[in-house]
Amino acid sequence: MIRFEDIYETVKRHHAGADLELLRKAYIFSAVEHKGQTRASGEPYLVHPLEVAAILAELRMDPACVAVGLLHDVLEDTLTDETKIKEHFGPDVLHIVEGVTKISKIPFSSSEERQAENFRKLLLAMVDDVRVIIVKLADRLHNMRTLQYLPEERRQRIARETMDIYAPLAGRLGMSRIKNELEDLSFQYLEPEAYQELMQRVEERRTSAIEFIEKIKGTVQEKLKGAGLEASLEGRIKRVYSIHQKLRRQRIELDQVYDFVALRIVVPTIPDCYAALGVLHNLWRPVPGRIKDFIAMPRPNGYRSLHTSVISDEGHPFEVQIRTREMHRIAEEGIAAHWKYKEGRSGPDKDTRRRSTASRRGAR
């Protein structure tokens, strides 16, 4: 079970100088209110708000938002009322808790694509603080991680709702790390046979893929260093649901997936991104039509990066993503990466306000 002190230390590390007494108060309040309650797994209910708060802390959300992670179910699942929350934690925390509670009570029953899109638009339109959505996504992520303890009918309903509503919503807000995990977890329950079959095929290739990644990482690191470029490199195997989508959409076999293996290069500056791209294209032959400049032309959710695919000396194609450290954080965390906490007040920076407004406009 995750410890409150671990959450406290994470928030303290990301928000030095902030008053964190709010967090301790929220933890004690949640523990008292949820006392005696258990989850379907048999664990104390308090495990859930702690896990949600931990996800928010890792996203570097402000102390008020992490406190809401600890409190997000007290209005719905305990005898606590709004007056008590406002009295103990103030109007800001109450406002977010009420928003999360309101979202949880909206019924969603249709998997029809247009209805799902309308529902996502409704969620974006009804909140005036994006932290409400971020807390709800963290809540849904932990629920999906523990979905195996629920009856089959509920597993199917929650997984479908997650795939249709919450994963795309995370994508719209640029929160790819949460979106990706929600998709993979949903796929596991919605199409268990397809999931198991594909996982087996991926596992059969995993060892050779990891060996290949390590080899190209060493080669690229050496060439970048020779060019005077400071860089950190990370390899990955494509996510199982993303592979599933590509196989189905393009009607291809697994060995035809260009980005089954990918390399990520993180450098200090934008000029370094383009310099690294030049090093790669001098090293290996690029695949025609696979170069994408999302730095010059960012995606609507704020994602920026250079993408290319190259052919290795052995004839294996693989994808490379090149970005700065700031771009990488935005790619992983999306709108949460822009949330600032300064001078005792939390709030979005200008980019966050612009992106949040754009999301709502896109939802109309």
Choosing from 77, 98, 191, 332, the catalytic residue is: 77
- Known catalytic residue: 58? no
- Known catalytic residue: 98? no
CA dihedral over 315, 316, 317, 322, signed as positive or negative? negative
- Measure the CA–CA gap between 189 and 75, rounded to whole angstroms: 30
Give the contacts of 228 (CB within 8 A, at least 6 positions apart).
none
Choosing from 76, 128, 203, 204, the catalytic residue is: 76
Backbone angles phi, psi at 34, to 5 degrees: -95, 5
For 207, 208, 242, 246, 304, the CA distances from 202, given in Å and listed in that order, are: 10, 11, 12, 14, 28
For 10, 32, 106, 110, the CA distances from 37, given in Å and listed in that order, are: 27, 10, 24, 31
Q: What residues are annotated to the active site?
A: 76-77
